[in-house]
Amino acid sequence: MAFINMRTNEVQVKIVYYGPGRGGKTSNLEFINKKFRERIKSDMVSIKTHGDRTLFFDFLPFDIGKIKGYDIKIQMYTVPGQVKYNATRKLVLKGVDGLVFVADAMAERRKHNLLSLKQLQENLAEYKKSIFRIPLILQYNKMDLKDQGVPLLPLATLEQDLNSKLKVPSYPASAITGENVVITLKKIISVTMAAIQRELK
């Protein structure tokens, strides 16, 4: 639920990176944080365990300037990916405006992607939101591992598994090299803003 402040003409938009544990959600935000450091006014907040796993969320605010006279403030979050943290995942989804589903392209992670996407659908349903209607982008991450001989799922398989019903924009990416990380971000911002503007009228 984007909050529109009619007094300051500011719109706050919540974008959540969702996906299986170790898929690269935090790495996406870390890359964005590094790349746009001079434009981001605050530090990235990460609530994590000693083992560097996301415990609650990462948070990164990002101002993108004005659209139609409104100051747009993007608030990016990641969820904890580990299976046992579904209660906290749900809390982070509260009021979400747009989602990036970060799938892990490693062949051995195929089942985890499917389960995580299914759970996302269920979690959204609890907030009376449909995965088929919310602004959503898929990202197939860790593409760089191909060069190291790690078995990856072919793009056609990832599309078939995850996107055959959703039919949303999808990008092969690498949160480590940065390949398509910024494009993913730009796309989710533009799709989400389009949805918000339809309602602003």
Partner 1 sequence: MNYGIDQDRLITIDSILREDLIEIGVDYVLMIDTAGNTIAKCDSGAHSYDVASLAALAAGNYATVDAMAKIVGEQEFSLLFHKGENVSIHFSMINEEFLLIILFGKDVSLGFLRLKVTEAIDKIRALWK
Ligand X SMILES: Nc1nc2c(ncn2[C@@H]2O[C@H](COP(=O)(O)OP(=O)(O)O)[C@@H](O)[C@H]2O)c(=O)[nH]1
10: contact with ligand X by CB under 6 A: no
In angstroms, what is the minimal distance from the CB of 79 to ligand X? Answer: 9
State yes or no: residue 54 binds Mg ion (CB under 5 A): yes
The answer to whether residue 145 forms part of the interface with ligand X (CB under 6 A) is yes
The Cα–Cα gap between 187 and 179 comes to: 14
Which one of Mg ion, partner 1, ligand X, none is in contact with 4 (Cβ closer than 5 to 8 A by kind)? partner 1
199 binds partner 1 (CB under 8 A): yes
Write out the two tokens for 9: 């003409």
- Binding flag, residue 21, ligand X (CB under 6 A): yes
**Binding flag, residue 181, ligand X (CB under 6 A):** no
Number of amino acids touching partner 1 (CB under 8 A):
34
Q: Does 113 contact ligand X by CB under 6 A?
A: no
- Pick between residue 10 and residue 159 the one whose CB is nearest to partner 1: 10
Residue carrying the six token digits 């892990």: 104
Q: Does 176 bind ligand X (CB under 6 A)?
A: yes
Q: How far apart are CA 187 and CA 101, in angstroms?
A: 13
CA distance 4 to 127: 20
Give the residues lining the site for partner 1 (CB under 8 A): 1-7, 11-12, 14, 41-43, 45, 47, 56-57, 59, 61, 73, 75, 77, 87-88, 91-92, 94-97, 195-196, 199-200
